[in-house]
Amino acid sequence: MNDVVPLVGGFARFDVSTDRYPARQRVETWREEFGRTLLRIDLAPRSPEPLHAKATAYRGVNFRLLRASRDTGFSS
């Protein structure tokens, strides 16, 4: 995971961005960190275009909220 920030009350914020990786590592990093770790699904790229994506997820005991860039270039 790119950044995990503990928050009050047992909540945590997870930030994932492909900008931190070289182009050749972005697809696999996004699939692993965003798809498998945060969403628990397998993602597949929709096109061979370079990937640029960001997401922030908030997790608590019975709470989850996800904000992602509009078009990640992936489908589940």
Interval 24-73: pLDDT, tens: 998 898 888 888 887 888 888 877 888 888 888 888 877 677 777 755 56
H helical segments located in 1-57: 23-29
What's phi and psi for 42, nearest 5 deg? -100, 125
Q: What is the reported pTM?
A: 0.67
- For 6, 30, 32, 56, the CA distances from 18, given in Å and listed in that order, are 21, 7, 12, 12
What's phi and psi for 41, nearest 5 deg? -135, 165
H helices, E strands: number in the chain: 1, 6
What's the chain's Rg over C-alpha atoms? 13
